[in-house]
Structure 1
Amino acid sequence: MNTIRYFVRTNGKTARDLLLDLSLVLQTALRRDNQVSLNEELASVRAYLRLEQARLSDRLEVEDSVPDRDLPQLISSHLLPQMVQGLVNAATSQSSGGRIKLFLSQDELVMEGSSRAEPDQALLLKFPKNVTVEHPDGTRYRWRLLYENPDRRR
């Protein structure tokens, strides 16, 4: 909110865009559906990343090369935003900041987070485009996916 308040005074268009992004992130957080399309989750992730870029300025670089096309497969609601939050926290934990990359590789959505201080220690999260990710234990399972079984590239 402080970031948006700053832009209200300095750049009205950016403030409006950030308010729309915040609205989308909050709507996503309040959603009660168990499953949503990958498109919907990706829209929320992109909005969250724009908010974080505004807040962190040059400490966060985002590369998003996922094409705007139909990705109708269903995944667990709130899965991607939580994982991207973890990636942003890990990538920007150093004062030098970091980078988040979103891209499609063969049949997978890949999210990669790395700090500028240790770019060769990237954390990769892969989501097959044709697999539905669901689990009755929701958040605990999502965090386990993120923190216990990461595909680390060294």
Structure 2
Amino acid sequence: MIRFPVLSWRRWRLSELQKQKELRQKAEFEALQSQINPHFLFNSLSIITALCRERPEDARELLVVLGDYFRNTLQTKSYMIDIQEELNHVRAYLRLEKARFEERLSVEIDVPEELHIEVPQFILQPLVENAVKHGAMKRERGSVHISVSAIERGVRVVVEDNGKGMPGEVMGALAEDKMPHEKVGLANVHKRLKSIYGAAGGLHIQSSVEGTAVSFLIPKGGRHG
């Protein structure tokens, strides 16, 4: 009977667990990528078409932005990227939404240019999309504020909107990991953050009839486990 050293078996087991964790993270990431909203694409193309005759330069610019947006969305070469790169993806999305809603939507991004930290790719855009679609645009004039700041424990990311608040049942379902499968945005981001940074690393939500703030922390120590 062949006996394997206990230490070697433990190392093998830890290696296998790490591989399973990485595969799970990749699956969650790819699930988000597959949720490219066809209505968003349709609306963007409709706006560009309308601009072609009277404002061709604007139409050309938006086509470039739309191409950049979907190229970044479909990119899979890196699971972790610099937060400035992630913000470039968010800016492309917001540029298209601003073209659609014009003066109805105001956006403020408060991020120091010198701040660099690795974050999971495609972790911020779903939060911003949720803030626009289910928050800000529930008002006649909506606003979205994105802030990233260094604090003692790491880097704090906050996405705020002036909508009418997040329903209590949605917040409860998110906290209990019971979100419906078709609502993958917030739930998937929440799960990915916890998988990477530990049980305390998910989304934190404060909401009222005056708006919603969704935040998360990138700890100084980086990945958990």
TM-score, normalised to structure 1, is 0.72
Mind listing any 5+ residue stretches in structure 1 that lack a counterpart? 136-154
Identical positions, percent:
28
Matched, 1:98 2:187: no
Residues 136, 161 of structure 2: 8 Å contact kept: no
Report the secondary structure of 1:79's partner residue: coil
Alignment partner, residue 127 of structure 2: 83
The structure carrying a bigger helix percent of its residues is 2
Superposed, which structure 2 residues align to 1:57-72 within 5 Å? 57-67=102-112, 69-72=113-116
**In 2, Cα distance between equivalents of 1:12 and 1:83:** 31
Query: Which 10-residue stretch deviates more, 90-99 or 42-51?
Result: 90-99
Q: Greater RCO between the two (CA within 8 Å, min separation 6)?
A: 1
Contact (CA 8 Å) 2:111, 2:149: kept in 1 or not?
no
Deviations 1:13-50 (A, max 9, x none): 22122122212210111011211110111001011111
When the two chains are superposed, the root-mean-square deviation of aligned CA atoms in Å is: 2.8
Q: Which residue of 2 aligns with 1:114?
A: 162
Q: How many residues align?
A: 134
Distance 2:133 2:222 in 1: 23
Cα distance in 1 for partners of 2:101, 2:88 equals 20
1:15 aligns with one of 34, 48, 59 = 59
Assess, with a 3 A threshold, how the Cα gap between structure 1 residues 116 and 18 changes in structure 2: closer, same or farther: farther
What SS does the corresponding residue of 2:147 show, helix, strand or coil?
strand
Residues 1:34 and 2:79 are matched in the alignment:
yes
The runs of at least 4 aligned residues of structure 1 exceeding 6 Å deviation read 132-135
Q: Give the aligned partner of residue 52 of structure 1.
A: 97
Structure 2 gap segments, 5+ residues each? 1-44, 166-207
